[in-house]
């Protein structure tokens, strides 16, 4: 485990500002995750103002996700080489400038560029921030509590983005969905030098060639995934892009074997739990993101909630995740270990998705939404932090930036891949039923049911993988 210490009278002492630093870092994680969801309810207003086509709207989201997922590995490596605080601040500088561009955007190209640059900034922030969290706490109990706050801020950012996006768009304008990041970013940069310990750096060079191939492979893969719904999973575009991505990945691995200072030392994959832990995190995201996405659609399109009321309906789940991660998960990890909690959480998430797979078109919030959503909150709370710990449990101090980059990359790629596949399966089910003469409401609802069932299968696979591949390290 990494320790972050200051020299006091010749002895090492725990970093005295660690809890204040944690608050700052959790705020940063909240913003990074919120930026993936806050624009959802603002899309109709953006479409009306900037003239987007219906299909073109997806790129407001995709531009962010593609660069976020594509540059996470590079961001993690840079934080190891140049110091996590420096990369964290670089990331927030980029994010703040990009938010200004997106907030004053005068065209589709300007907004998409701003969103892409927001993703780039977030790709530097996310791995550096997690490294800083790990470096601030030397006591295992404190670390588990700190990671609980960290996980709660991530979960809250995803759900709060829907609620805040609706409120800001309704009461101000869609521009403030992006501009709100600027004062927050300035405040984060102002407090970073005082609260964030500078930390260690490494001597070495950035593997530029490896970075180019790795980033290009990830960007092409994520682009192929998020555009597959429109182009078709069997289209030449999707298959060609995925094949090219695999080819670039193979070239990248060959480069890493030859480099003295590679972007990703392949020896890191020998670290216990890193490979299975990252796969579990990818599957967790591939199950959780469709749950949140389709629950929001069910509330608005089947139960006919407004965007604002849909955000309110998601608040109990958000609050439950925050309370559980902060007050319960850390204690359970300390008592039972990360593997037991990870498996229990994934099982609870699977059960929640199975309940949602039976939602009727005339369902009610209290009967059909609230119980299953709270069970899903329990599952996410028990699984997210233990999954992160498992993925990084065997890494050395000098590898934490890279390891955190890998975890974040796995989660983001899992999110994109899982959502794209489940959306395709749901749409196919709905279209098939419409062809047979089913009503729009019936076809749409059964498509949602199929989506939740598909996500439940993914979550169940994660349970099996965690049970048989994750080791309980002492």
Block means of pLDDT (10 residues each) for the chain, 474 residues, are 34 60 83 74 77 69 77 79 85 93 91 92 84 74 75 71 72 85 87 71 67 81 74 86 92 83 72 84 90 81 78 82 78 83 94 95 90 93 86 68 73 76 82 84 89 95 92 66
**Contact at 8 Å (CB) between 446 and 433?**
yes
**Contact at 8 Å (CB) between 63 and 52?**
no
**Nearest of 57, 37, 35 to residue 46 by alpha carbon:** 57
Q: For residues 96 and 41, what is the distance between their CA atoms, to the nearest angstrom?
A: 22
Burial of 171 (0-12, 13-18, 19+ CB in 10 A): exposed
Q: How far is CA 164 from CA 104, 158, 159, 197, 473, in A?
A: 19, 10, 9, 32, 40
**Contact at 8 Å (CB) between 332 and 343?**
no
Q: For residues 420 and 343, what is the distance between their CA atoms, to the nearest angstrom?
A: 25
**Nearest of 455, 281, 284 to residue 359 by alpha carbon:** 455
Reduce the DSSP state of residue 12 to 3 states and report it. Answer: strand
Q: How open is the CA angle 253-259-263, to the nearest 5 degrees?
A: 65
**Contact at 8 Å (CB) between 131 and 140?**
no
Tell me what pLDDT residue 4 has: 37
**Nearest of 21, 219, 281, 34 to residue 130 by alpha carbon:** 21
Rounded to two decimals, the pTM is 0.75
Tell me what pLDDT residue 122 has: 87
Tell me what pLDDT residue 304 has: 84
């Amino acid at each position: 485990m990494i320790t972050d210490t200051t020299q006091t009278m010749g002895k090492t002492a725990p970093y005295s500002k660690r809890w204040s630093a944690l608050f700052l870092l959790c705020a940063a994680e909240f913003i990074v995750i919120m930026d993936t969801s806050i624009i959802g309810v603002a899309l109709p207003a953006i479409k009306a103002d900037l003239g987007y086509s219906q299909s073109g709207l997806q790129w407001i989201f995709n531009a962010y996700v593609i660069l976020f997922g594509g540059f996470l590995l590079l961001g993690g490596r840079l934080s190891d080489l140049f110091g996590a605080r420096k990369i964290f601040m670089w990331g927030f500088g980029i994010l703040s400038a990009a938010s200004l561009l997106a907030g004053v955007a005068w065209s589709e190209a300007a907004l998409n560029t701003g969103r892409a640059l927001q993703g780039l900034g977030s790709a530097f922030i996310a791995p550096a921030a997690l490294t800083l969290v790990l470096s601030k706490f030397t006591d295992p109990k404190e670390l588990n509590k700190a990671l609980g706050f960290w996980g709660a801020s991530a979960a809250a950012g995803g759900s709060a983005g829907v609620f805040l996006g609706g409120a800001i768009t309704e009461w101000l304008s869609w521009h403030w969905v992006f501009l709100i990041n600027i004062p927050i970013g300035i405040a984060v940069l102002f407090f970073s030098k005082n609260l964030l310990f500078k930390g260690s750096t490494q001597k070495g060079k950035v593997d530029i060639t490896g970075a180019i191939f790795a980033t290009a492979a990830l960007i092409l893969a994520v682009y192929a995934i998020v555009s597959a719904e429109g182009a078709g999973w069997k289209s030449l575009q999707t298959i060609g892009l995925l094949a090219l991505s695999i080819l670039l990945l193979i070239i990248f691995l060959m480069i890493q074997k030859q480099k003295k200072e590679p972007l990703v030392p392949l020896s890191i994959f020998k670290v216990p739990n890193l490979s299975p832990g990252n796969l579990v995190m990818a599957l967790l995201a591939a199950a959780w993101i469709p749950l949140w996405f389709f629950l929001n659609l069910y509330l608005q399109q089947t139960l006919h909630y407004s965007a604002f009321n849909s955000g309110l309906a998601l608040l109990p789940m958000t609050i439950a995740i925050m309370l559980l991660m902060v007050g319960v998960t850390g204690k359970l990890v300390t008592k039972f270990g990360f593997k037991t909690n990870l498996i229990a959480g994934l099982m609870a998430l699977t059960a929640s998705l199975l309940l949602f797979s039976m939602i009727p078109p005339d369902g009610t919030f209290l009967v059909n939404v609230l119980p299953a959503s709270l069970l899903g909150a329990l599952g996410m709370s028990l699984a997210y932090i233990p999954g992160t710990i498992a993925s990084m449990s065997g890494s050395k101090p000098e590898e934490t930036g890279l390891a955190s980059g890998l975890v974040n990359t796995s989660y983001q790629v899992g999110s994109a891949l899982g959502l794209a596949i489940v959306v395709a399966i749901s749409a196919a089910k709905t279209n098939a039923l419409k062809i047979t003469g089913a009503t729009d409401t019936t076809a749409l609802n059964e498509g949602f049911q199929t989506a939740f069932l598909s996500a439940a299968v993914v979550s169940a696979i994660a349970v099996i993988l965690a049970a048989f591949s994750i080791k309980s390290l002492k």
